[in-house]
C-alpha cells in the first residue's frame, strides 16, 4: 500500500530525475568549424604552438568523434555542401548552400532547408554567425542563406536582412557596397551591381562596425543590439599577418568573447557558429606557417569560449573537410618539431627531408615567409591550388549532451545530435525527409558540379 511517505519519496525522485534531465540539456551551443582543419592540421597547430607535449584547448574537450565529410555528389566535399550538411543535417551537392540536391531529394527538386539557427530561434534562443572569411563565404552563409550556388555572394548579402541573426561578423564589406562606395582601408570600391546593403541594414537597426576599436566600444549588454561586423574589404587577414590596434582587425577570440556576452543576455540561451575560415586558404597555398597560425588563433577562441561561456553550454569543434593532404613526416627529433623548426628540414645534408609534406598544391612556395631556413615542400601532385581531401575530420565536444557527438558519423548527423542536445529537433518536413536521402540511389537528374574551395 502506498503511504503518504511513498508519495513524498516519489516526488523527490521525480524532481531529481527532472533536474538530472535538465542538466543534460544544452541551453547554449557554440559550434566551431575549422575550415580545412583535418587531423594533421590539428597536430601541426599543436606542434607549432608548443611541441609534442602541448595540448590545445580543443584537445581538452572530453568527447571525440569522427565526421565523414563526403557530399551528395562527391567523395570530396566543398565548403558549401559541408556547411549545408553541418547546418541543416542534409548532404547536398558541391556548391549548394541550404538547398537539397535534386538528384537525391525525395521529390526530385531543390528544396530550401531549415538550419540550426532556425531550430535554435524556434526555442527562443539568440543566434550568431562569425568567421574570418567574408561573411558571405560558404561556411557562414550555410547558417543563414539559401542559394543554389555559393558564388552568388551579392544575393547572400541580400539575405542577411531576413536572417533573424543577432550577430554576423567577419570580412567581406565589398558585397555590402556598390561600386560608388570607396573603402578607405583597402583603397577599393564596392562590388555590388546595385544597393548599399550595409546602409540598408543599418537603417533596419543593425549596428555596423568596421574595426577592433568599434567592436570594443559596443555595449554587449544593450537590449536589441544587432551587430554586423565587416572587418575587411575581403577575407580577414591571416592571424600571423593581422593588423592590430583599434584601427586593425579584432582577433577571433575577442569576437567570440563579445558574442558570448551579447548572446548570453537572452535567458533562453543561444546558438553561435564560429568559423576559423582561413586555415583552408593557407593549405590551398601549401603555406603551413599561416595555416598553423590560424589553427592556434582558432584554438585561442575555443579556450576563450570554454572560459567565458555559461556552464550549460555545449561546445562542439569540427571541420568541414581536410585541405591539401597535409602530412607530418618522420623522424625528426622532438625539439625539431616545435614552433618554426617544424617548418624546416632535418638530417645532415639533405634539404628535401622536410617534416611538412602536401598531397597537392603549388608546393615550393610553401614557406616563403618562414623566418628560418626556407624548405621546399614539393607537393606530390603540383597544382595551382591544393585540393580538398576525403579523409575524416575530428569532432571534439564538451558540455551538456557531449556524449551524442561520440563515434564515427556522417557530417549530416552532427546538427541532428546538436539539436537533440538542445532538447529539440529539426521540425521542417523537408529536412526530415531528406536527412538520409544521400543513402538512396541517385535519380537521373543532372546537377551542377562545382570544383570546390
Q: Report the distance separating Cα 405 and Cα 90, nearest Å.
A: 17
Binding mask 228-267 for Zn ion (x = CB under 5 A): ----------------------------------------
Binding mask 22-41 for Zn ion (x = CB under 5 A): --------------------
Residue among 392 and 453 whose Cβ is closer to Zn ion: 453
Active-site residue list = 79
Judged by CB under 5 A, does residue 280 bind Zn ion? yes
- Which of these segments, 96-104, 144-152, 169-177, 278-286, binds Zn ion (CB under 5 A)? 278-286
- Least distance (Å) from Zn ion to the CB of residue 323? 5
Residue among 150 and 174 whose Cβ is closer to Zn ion: 150
- Least distance (Å) from Zn ion to the CB of residue 453? 4
Q: Report the distance separating Cα 131 and Cα 415, nearest Å.
A: 19
Question: What phi and psi values does residue 97 have, to the nearest 5 degrees?
Answer: -120, 110
Q: How many residues bind Zn ion (CB under 5 A)?
A: 2
Residue among 158 and 280 whose Cβ is closer to Zn ion: 280
Copy the grid coordinates of residue 187.
Answer: 583603397
- Least distance (Å) from Zn ion to the CB of residue 296? 19
- Least distance (Å) from Zn ion to the CB of residue 62? 30
- Which of these segments, 123-131, 274-282, 359-367, 442-450, binds Zn ion (CB under 5 A)? 274-282
- Least distance (Å) from Zn ion to the CB of residue 280? 4
- Which of these segments, 165-173, 213-221, 249-257, 273-281, binds Zn ion (CB under 5 A)? 273-281
Residue among 394 and 428 whose Cβ is closer to Zn ion: 394
Closest residue to Zn ion, based on beta-carbon distance:
280
- Least distance (Å) from Zn ion to the CB of residue 293? 17
Question: What phi and psi values does residue 265 have, to the nearest 5 degrees?
Answer: -65, -20
Q: Report the distance separating Cα 410 and Cα 166, nearest Å.
A: 29
Secondary structure letter of residue 438 according to DSSP: G
In the three-class reduction of DSSP (H, G, I as helix; E, B as strand; rest coil), residue 82 is classed as helix
Residue among 42 and 405 whose Cβ is closer to Zn ion: 42
Residue among 274 and 405 whose Cβ is closer to Zn ion: 274
Question: What phi and psi values does residue 228 have, to the nearest 5 degrees?
Answer: -110, 110
In Å, how far are 53, 132, 139, 322 from 279, measured between CA atoms? 22, 10, 13, 10
Report 370-399 residues binding Zn ion (CB under 5 A): none
Strands in 376-448 per DSSP E: 381-382, 388-389, 393-398, 407-410
Judge residue 155's burial from the number of C-beta atoms within 10 Å of its C-beta, 0-12 exposed, 13-18 middle, 19 or more buried. Answer: middle
- Least distance (Å) from Zn ion to the CB of residue 79? 6
Q: Report the distance separating Cα 238 and Cα 425, nearest Å.
A: 36
- Which of these segments, 272-280, 371-379, 402-410, 424-432, binds Zn ion (CB under 5 A)? 272-280
Single out the residue of 253, 410, 428, 453 in contact with Zn ion (rule: CB under 5 A): 453
Cβ 377 vs Cβ 358: under 8 Å: yes
Beta bridge partners of 395: 65
Q: Buried (b) or exposed (e) across 272-287, using 16+ Cβ within 10 A? A: bbbbbbbbbbbbbbbb
Residue among 320 and 428 whose Cβ is closer to Zn ion: 320
- What is the β-pairing status of strands 126-134 and 270-276? parallel
In Å, how far are 70, 143, 177, 276 from 225, measured between CA atoms? 38, 20, 22, 24
- Which of these segments, 39-47, 277-285, 364-372, 417-425, binds Zn ion (CB under 5 A)? 277-285
- Residues near Zn ion, by CB under 5 A: 280, 453
Amino acid at each position: 500500500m502506498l503511504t503518504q511517505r511513498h508519495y513524498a519519496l516519489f516526488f523527490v525522485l521525480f524532481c531529481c530525475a527532472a533536474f538530472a534531465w535538465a542538466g543534460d540539456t544544452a541551453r547554449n551551443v557554440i559550434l566551431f568549424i575549422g575550415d580545412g582543419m583535418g587531423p594533421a592540421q590539428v597536430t601541426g597547430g599543436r606542434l607549432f604552438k608548443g611541441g609534442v607535449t602541448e595540448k590545445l584547448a580543443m584537445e581538452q574537450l572530453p568527447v571525440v568523434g569522427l565526421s565523414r565529410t563526403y557530399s551528395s555528389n562527391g567523395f570530396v566535399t566543398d565548403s558549401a555542401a559541408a556547411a549545408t550538411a553541418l547546418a541543416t543535417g542534409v548532404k547536398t551537392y558541391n556548391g549548394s548552400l541550404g538547398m537539397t540536391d535534386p538528384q537525391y531529394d525525395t521529390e526530385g527538386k531543390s528544396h530550401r532547408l531549415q538550419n540550426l539557427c532556425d531550430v535554435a530561434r524556434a526555442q527562443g534562443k539568440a543566434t550568431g554567425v562569425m568567421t574570418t572569411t567574408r561573411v558571405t563565404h560558404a561556411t557562414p552563409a550555410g547558417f543563414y542563406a539559401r542559394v543554389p550556388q555559393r558564388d552568388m555572394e551579392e544575393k547572400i548579402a541580400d539575405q542577411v536582412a531576413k536572417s533573424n541573426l543577432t550577430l554576423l561578423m567577419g570580412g567581406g564589406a565589398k558585397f555590402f557596397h556598390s561600386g560608388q562606395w570607396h573603402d578607405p582601408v583597402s583603397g577599393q570600391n564596392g562590388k555590388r551591381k546595385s544597393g548599399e546593403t550595409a546602409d540598408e541594414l543599418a537603417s533596419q537597426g543593425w549596428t555596423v562596425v568596421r574595426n577592433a576599436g568599434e567592436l570594443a566600444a559596443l555595449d554587449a549588454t544593450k537590449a536589441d543590439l544587432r551587430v554586423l561586423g565587416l572587418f575587411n574589404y575581403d577575407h580577414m587577414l591571416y592571424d600571423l599577418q593581422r593588423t592590430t590596434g583599434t584601427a586593425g582587425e579584432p582577433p577571433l577570440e575577442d569576437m567570440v568573447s563579445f558574442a558570448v556576452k551579447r548572446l548570453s543576455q537572452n535567458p533562453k540561451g543561444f546558438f553561435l557558429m564560429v568559423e576559423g575560415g582561413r586555415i583552408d586558404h593557407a593549405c590551398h597555398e601549401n603555406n603551413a606557417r599561416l595555416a598553423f597560425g590560424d589553427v592556434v588563433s582558432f584554438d585561442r577562441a575555443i579556450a576563450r569560449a570554454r572560459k567565458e561561456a555559461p556552464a550549460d553550454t555545449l561546445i562542439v569543434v569540427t571541420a568541414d573537410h581536410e585541405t591539401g593532404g597535409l602530412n607530418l613526416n618522420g623522424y625528426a627529433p622532438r625539439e625539431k618539431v616545435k614552433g618554426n623548426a617544424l617548418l624546416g628540414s632535418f638530417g645532415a645534408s639533405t634539404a628535401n627531408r622536410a617534416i611538412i609534406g602536401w598531397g597537392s598544391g603549388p608546393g615550393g612556395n610553401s614557406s616563403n615567409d618562414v623566418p628560418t631556413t626556407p624548405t621546399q615542400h614539393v607537393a606530390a601532385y603540383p597544382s595551382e591550388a591544393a585540393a580538398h581531401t576525403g579523409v575524416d575530420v575530428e569532432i571534439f565536444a564538451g558540455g551538456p549532451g557531449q556524449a551524442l557527438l561520440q563515434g564515427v558519423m556522417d557530417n549530416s548527423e552532427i546538427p541532428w545530435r546538436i539539436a537533440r542536445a538542445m532538447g529539440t529537433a529539426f521540425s521542417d518536413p523537408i529536412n526530415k525527409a531528406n536527412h538520409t536521402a544521400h543513402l538512396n540511389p541517385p535519380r537521373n537528374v543532372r546537377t551542377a558540379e562545382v570544383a570546390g574551395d
